[in-house]
Structure formats: C-alpha cells, structure tokens
Structure 1
Amino acid sequence: MTSAPDPTAPLAAGEGRSRDDRPLAAAAWMCGALCCFSAMAVSGREAAAELDTFELMFYRSVIGAVVVIGALIFAGKMREVRARRLGLHLGRNIAHFAGQNLWFLSVTLLPLAQVFAYEFTNPLWVAMLAPLLLGERFRWSRLGAAAIGFTGILVVAQPWQAGGAVGGFGIGQLAALGAALGFAFTVMSTKVLGRTESTASILFFMTVMQAAMGLVCAGWDGDMAFPAATLPWVVLVAFCGLGAHFCVTTALSKAPASIVSPMEFARLPMIAVVGMLMYGEPLEWSLVAGAALVLGGNFLNLRAERRRAAG
C-alpha cells in the first residue's frame, strides 16, 4: 500500500535465471507481502488509540530511517545518496506523507476492506494522470478501465445512502480516496526520480524528510505524545511497511510484473476476513460488487498494457 517497492532488494539464490521460471516462489513472497499489508492496517488502527496520524508517521519514519540508513551502511550504498533534485524529492514525499496520513485516518473510520477497495484506485489514477503529468500517450483503454473502476467506487460508497456500514460518503471515504491519489502522485514522481536517482537516495530522503514532516506536524501544538502503550503497534507498522516492500520487490525478481501485480488483488479478500474476525465488520453486497468492478478495471488496464508491451 503504499509507495513503490524497493528495487534494490537482493535477489534470492539463483539470480540470473529467467524470472519467468519461478512463479511459485513469487507467489510465496507475495503471500508475505499480503500478510504485511494486512498487519500494517491492523497495527495502524490499534496505534491510533493513543497517537494521531502525524505522531504515528513521525515514529514510523524515525524507525524506518534507522533501518534504511543502517542497511545502506551495511551494504556500502551510502555513497549513492546524492543531494540532487531535492525539489522533486520534497514533492514526492509531501504526496506520500499526505497519502499515508490519510490512509491511517481512513483505517480508523471505515471497514478495512472498504479502505483497501478505495486504495486499489491508485493504478487507475496513475493511468489517467500519467498522460497529463508525465507526457505519456493517452489511451482509450486506460479511460475505459478507469471508468469501470470508478463506477465500482460509487457502488462501494453509495453516496446516495445516508448511512450504514458501507453506505454514505463522508470524511472517511474522502480520506481513503485522497490517500489513493497521494499514492498515485508518489508512483509518478518515483518514476521520474528513478531515471536519474539511485534507490538509495530515494529511500534515504523518503525516511528522513517524512520524519521531519511528522515532527513538525505532530509537534506544532507542543503536545506530542510518546507511544508508551502502543509502541509495539508502532514498531509493527514500521517493519510491516518495509517488509511489504521487500516482499513485493523480491516477488518481482522471481516473475514479471504481469504475473505479480494481479496477486496483489488478494489483499482485498484477505483484509475482509481480517476485518470480520477481529472487528466484526460485515461483508455487504455493495462492497463485494464494487470491489469486483475496481479490480476488474485494474485487470483490464493491466491486460491492455501487457498486450501493448508484447506487440
């Protein structure tokens, strides 16, 4: 959930073989990613009992910075960190910081499965905005896929309804959609940064800048809380976020994105089960039908892109 995976994650033994040879290994790593994503949603909701989203992001980013800097030093990659294109780094991290804060807010206000359904509009936002912001060629297939996906969001949100576990459109739904849009801008800016900047630089500035943003936003009123009771949940948020990216990246080293990406859609039924077991959240027909449309729009877009790449 979240931002683009870390392409510097090491390949497993057997590096150099065709990625297409190991789809089962990719599936196993994606199972790990799905568990991390679900655990991050649960731990974020539990940590919110003591912390606001800015405080949560500050502590998460500090832990992430320690881990990332330690890993870069251990791997001898700190020399790859360059203070170039700081403006684009800053813009990327503002988008990700805003998106992540909105995501943590939405998991405290909405059923977890609904949050993930909104989050899956992220690729559709990218498909629609990339021609405008990245100069990519406009394609009608992307427009059609986005239309299907956003129809699904209307089915999930049911803005014509006044209330209910799923129906209605309020601050929680706006936060979830805002998070997806923030993640879309993160993906696009990461794509631009990746043309000239190393992943070491991207990760370094991500954790350091977002820790600074969290400190400013959480401490502006002078009443910043330390997560004494929820510290284990905060640590789990940080490590699950890093673990999810590592698992996705490793999966991509075992099989191409056209195989790995659809596996990520299993996050939705998994978090729905977690929500039912842990919080008694019901599975309403509108959520199931709307989520199917969102995933269908993503699948059609992925299929069209795969055909263009093959042709």
Structure 2
Amino acid sequence: MVASAVLFGFMTVTIRLASKQLHAFEIAFFRSLFGFVFALPLLLRHGPALFKTDKWGFYVMRCCIGIVSMLAGFWAVVHLPLAQAISLSYSTPLFVTIGAVLFLGEVVRLRRWTAVLIGFIGVIVIVRPGAADFSIASLIALMAAALSGTVAISIKYLSRTEHPDAIVLITTGLWVILALPAAIPVWQWPNAESWLWVILAGGFGTVAHLLWTRALKRGEVSALTPLSFLQLPVVILFGYFLFDERLDIWTGVGAGVIVCSNVYIAHREARLARHVVTDKNVAAETTT
C-alpha cells in the first residue's frame, strides 16, 4: 500500500510535467495507452481467458463514467495546485459510502453518516465557495471524485464474480478507446521529454493500481487506508521543489478533516465486516 501511494503520487507529478506541452485530455489518452501496455503481461499469467466475461455491457458503462472522471481529474491536476487537487480526490470514499447505500443496499448508521458529513465539511474548507481565490477547477476536481466513487461502486459489484486482473486489463483497454475522441481535438505529437512523462504516467498508474488491489486482498482496509494518504506528502514535496507550490492553510486543514473522516469510515467498515463473519461462523456452529 505504501508503494502504491508513492507511485500514484509520482503519476500525478508526471501528469503535471507532461502538461508543459500537452493538453490534459491527451495526457489521459497516453496514460491509458501505456497503462494498457504495462498491463499486458497479465495475459502471460492468465492467457486470453482473462478477456472472457458476460459483463461487457457493464464494463463499457463503468468505463464511460471512469473516463469522464479521469479527464476531469487530469484537468484538475493541471489547473490546481497539486496538494489541493489530490486532497479533493480524497473525497471519493465519501461518495462511495453514499453510493453503497443507493446502489448496493448497504446499511450505513449514524456514526458513519456523521463521518461523511464531517468529511464534506473538509471539502468545503478546501473549496471555499465565495472566497476571492475560489476556482471552478476545484469543482471539476470534486466532480471527478464523485464519478470515481461511482466507479468504485462498480468495482465492488464486478469483484463479486470477476478476477481482479481481468478488471484492471479490460478497464485499461477500454479507456484507451474512450479517451481517444477527447484527445483528438487537442492533439499534438509529444516531444522527447513529454514522451518520457506520459510513458512513466502509464507505468506508475498501472503498477500502483495492481499493488493497491493486492494490498487490499492481503490486509484489512482499516489498517491500509491511512497508508494510502502518503500520496499527499509526495505531491506536496514535488510541488514545492518542481513547481514552487506551497501548501496553504485551508488545504492543509481541509485535507486533514477528510483524511480523518475516511480513516474512521474504513475502520467502521472493517469492524462491521468482522462482526458479519463472526455472526456467520456462530450460526454455522449452531446449525451443526
């Protein structure tokens, strides 16, 4: 999880570096393209059977939502300070909690709803609507987080029957196709430096995604979630030295509130999951 968070941070930095020449939408296309290339070795492990699924329609639908989220997120990374863009992306678990209730029928009780509300207070602190330095880019970053929450819900649904590597490979492949129409109107061929950044963005993104899924498979969400926020100090450090960006007090406070809210939500979900497993084991022992 630590490696995943650091690599996601590196990916964000390479996106900003590539934006010196390329539009955010073209960067999203190349990130998808090279991300797919880096994911192809999964076929060596599983073979073409990895593409066999009866849920192609669902994959296409979730990838359409996912590519809009990616385009909006990349645009925000290019037009916002890195720390602010990443901090707002941490609101995704808040939207996931809401979506789990609406689409998966999960039961969320008062304490988790309170954590979600506190998390959105942190979002308001960062965005500061009405302030002199308010930017529409912050709302686009928030939209990207909300759509990313929808994608996370779809992954929960797919993971019930689909192999995690199949989800990564099929999703990345569809993103290449769906990202191209947005990239064509702003297309220009990358120079040598930009080629380096977009290739690294694809590699960092895919490897980080694979590490993330395996971390969640091996460990508890409540223990791993705090480690995922190590992405923030990475982008703060690179933002300072490469782009002369300093963390403002409002982004720092808001990010802290959102992180604490997410950690609590993950902790509660893990505790509830353990209770469900315990209750099932007790029931099984009783019936036998």
The Cα shift of 1:190 comes to 1.0
1:130 and 2:100 are equivalent in the alignment? yes
1:143 and 2:113 are equivalent in the alignment? yes
Q: Considering only aligned residues, what root-mean-square deviation do their CA atoms show, in Å?
A: 1.8
Instruction: Pick the aligned partner of 1:301 from 265, 281, 284.
Output: 265
Alignment CA distance shift 1:32-1:198 (3 Å): closer
CA displacement 1:216-254 (0-9 Å, x = unmatched):
2222x4x62222230000001000101212332343455
Q: Contact 1:32–1:244 (CA<8 Å) still a contact in 2?
A: yes
Amino acid at match of 1:307: R
| Structure-2-length-normalised TM-score | 0.88
1:214 and 2:185 are equivalent in the alignment? no
Alignment of 1:51-200 (within 5 A): 51-69=22-40, 71-163=41-133, 168=134, 170-200=135-165
Amino acid at match of 1:251: A
Instruction: Pick the aligned partner of 1:226 from 184, 189, 205.
Output: 189
CA–CA distance in 2 between the matches of 1:301 and 1:254? 19
The Cα shift of 1:292 comes to 1.2
Alignment CA distance shift 1:281-1:85 (3 Å): same
**Residue equivalent to 1:246:** 210
**Residue equivalent to 2:280:** none
CA displacement 1:26-55 (0-9 Å, x = unmatched):
xxxx33223211211111011122222332
Q: Which ranges of structure 1 fall in alignment gaps of 5 or more residues? A: 1-29
The Cα shift of 1:123 comes to 0.6
**Residue equivalent to 2:241:** 277
**Residue equivalent to 1:13:** none
Alignment CA distance shift 1:228-1:90 (3 Å): same
CA–CA distance in 2 between the matches of 1:299 and 1:84? 35
Alignment CA distance shift 1:141-1:156 (3 Å): same
CA–CA distance in 2 between the matches of 1:261 and 1:74? 31
Q: Which ranges of structure 2 fall in alignment gaps of 5 or more residues? A: 276-288
CA–CA distance in 1 between the matches of 2:19 and 2:212? 26
Q: Contact 2:10–2:234 (CA<8 Å) still a contact in 1?
A: no
**Residue equivalent to 1:259:** 223
Alignment CA distance shift 1:138-1:76 (3 Å): closer
CA–CA distance in 2 between the matches of 1:300 and 1:253? 20
The Cα shift of 1:302 comes to 1.8
1:44 and 2:15 are equivalent in the alignment? yes
